[in-house]
Structure 1
Amino acid sequence: MTDSEHSASLDADLNRQALDFHALPRPGKIGTEVTKPAVTQHDLSLAYTPGVAEPVRQIHADPDLAYRYTNKGNLVAVITDGTAVLGLGNVGSLAGKPVMEGKAVLFKRFADIDCFDIEVNAESPQAFIDTVARIAPTFGGINLEDIAAPHCFEIEHALRERLDIPVFHDDQHGTAIIIAAGLLNALELQGKTLAEAQIVVLGAGAAGIAGVRLLVALGAQPERIFCIDRQGVIHSARTDLNPYKRSVAVETEQRTLADAMRDADVLIGVSGPDLVTPEMLATMAPRPIVFALSNPVPEIRPAVALAVRDDLIMATGRSDYPNQINNVLGFPFIFRGALDVRAACINEAMQIAAVEALRTLAREPVPPEVLAAYGLTDLRFGPDYIIPKPFDPRLRERVPAAVAQAARDSGVARLPATH
């Protein structure tokens, strides 16, 4: 059996396991649970009629009491229109449901946040916005997911303006936060600074543009960041740019990915498989950093990259290589911190607080239970460990606390922290 045949066989086996996992013994990955007793007639008279009328009256008089008498304060909606599901593209909202259920699993498993997954058939961004706004009273927060650029920017902005609960597009900000935390640590290990780094961002969709914005907020120089889309470098002389791409355009003579990578310190790939050649990598500056995050096949494969550059620090989106840039390090804990103080939004200060908490945690000694979970005997801050592992129990303590404090400091918290 050839290597490609062996790989295809493994993929087929995994696909069969995944289908069985989702179908058996009960279809789907999530359900609901009853949190109050319902075994006697008196229980039912409190849970429903006539007892339920009293909290209704209380909430009608003071809407904030919904946080006391219902699950609103610990309930997040994971909502998609199905236009950019994983790497599969516009598969429609219903086909995106397994992913939304999966996000709900992660919210519950890592941060004990309840979730409803909601798949919306919307004929336009405005229809999607109106739908989400109308159902928002149910929830303490909205996690937008798998919505194609550029509409994702318009949708998130409009919902943040209309709603007084956190609205967070994870494909934008969640990815940007994890990238930023890992990159700051990698730059330090390579003896470089964010302000001086020349950065190439391959992919100008939700993650790419949000990543640029966050890196600039952290101190990167906009004129030293070169974004690449299908037409090449996003430069100020182009006339085909939407407003979101226009916001990351730079004045430069560079036109191609190969041009931009020459002497670059950092490559962040959020695009597609095998787009970066060994020859391009060879032209990067000494001690380069490559985040090749396309899944399942990176922009350049680690074995190829490390054969070209032995001075490289590399991250991918895959769990079978070191330094996985995984959004589960962020969104459950960011929402946990926001919900704990009933924040009106998840603002830039809260995102930066999450970056710093993740960055700092990776520098600390790794607990034995994390080593056991990954079958390791040793793991410490260095080129193969620039970001915490998802099963690190300290994430639940550190990230929500940092986010909650930033919410209070920035004036968007409506409660003191409760966790």
Structure 2
Amino acid sequence: MKFIRPMVYSVMAVVIGTSAFLLTTGRATSQTDAANQVHPTAYIEKNEVSASFKVGGRITEILVKEGDTVTKGQVLARLQSTEIEAKVAQAKAAVLLAQGKIAEAEGATATAEAKKQQGIAGVTVTADTAEQQVAQAQAAVAAAQAKVDALHNGARPEEKKQAEIQAQAASEVLAVAEQNLNRMNAMLAQGLVSQADVDKVKVSYEEAKTKRDLAQQQLSMANQGPREEEVRGAEALLAQAQAALKLAEANRGTVAVREGDVAAADAAVQQAKGAIQSAQSGEQQAKAAQLEAETYLSYTELTAPSDGLILSQSAQPGELVGSGFPVFSMESTSTTWAKFYLPETAIANLKVGNTISMTLVATGEKVVGTVKSIAAAPDFAVKKATQTAGETDIRSFGIKVELQALPESASTGMTLQWNGKEG
């Protein structure tokens, strides 16, 4: 009996251990099979967006209704816009006014520039003319002065000597002519010559006498000097030439005046250019105000944020809505997706970009999609281990699958069943 009891205990221990091992092995095997054969389900989903006005106001038009298919940018509704339209018109008028000021300033600039160029040309012409007048007046003064000096100095000794020689020669010629005349008269008395011959000689005598008288006058003038009235006339001409010279020199001052006009015209040009810049700045401000008013005017039209289907309408014409109030709820048709939740034991080899096969539960048709994201689910989705030996916590992961071409029978909200990764 002493040996039987230990043997019984040993056999019992072996049986219990074997049973525990088989039970643990079986449970692990069943968990692995379940993990490899999971077929979770998910719903066909689309993004829902709200269509809201950017500004508040009273609705005047509703252009769509629930169930309508719309395209991105399509006008869905309008707000009352009279006040904003008035601001747009006012802003446009301000732009036109600023542009008119620019044109006016540009015209003033062109006028000032023309005056400046005219003044520059005037300075050049005036300077050239003044110098020419001064040169001419100086030459006239020099000529008049030379005349006066010549009169005051009288005839030169050479001129006097020449006058004496001419007077002596003329007297000698006269004496010869007189002798010829006397001889001809004597011969006329004797009847040797005719009266005509005497007359010819008499003419020569008279010519010689005239030349002798003229030569004596020239000699007398050379000895006596110029007359007083002739000197006064020459001095008057000199004074006139000197006055003309002073006037010409005074005209040089007009060049400085012309240069002052050019400086004033240049200042006017700069002032006009400043007016252009100021007007251009005003135009930019007016255009900015116009753009702002037109932007606010565009906000009075509610447009579809994307292609989609109108699901619901939350306001009616005549209602006052605030900025951001969801007038319409839309279902976007841009993308369709489904989100499955799988335990971590089933996604070990799953990657973003994998192709997933699914079944449309309602019809049994095959649906294909692409894994877009794999993210751990919240803590409440974690499968906690029990007190049974060998179990561990198993976390769930959300798998977002973007669906490709759906069957015509598929609708948003229908159920898809996960079949697994293709390939």
Tell me which protein shows more strand as a share of its residues: 2
Higher-Rg structure is: 2
TM-score (normalised: structure 1): 0.19
Which structure exhibits the higher relative contact order, with contacts defined as CA atoms closer than 8 Å and separated by 6 or more residues?
Answer: 2
TM-score by length of 2: 0.19
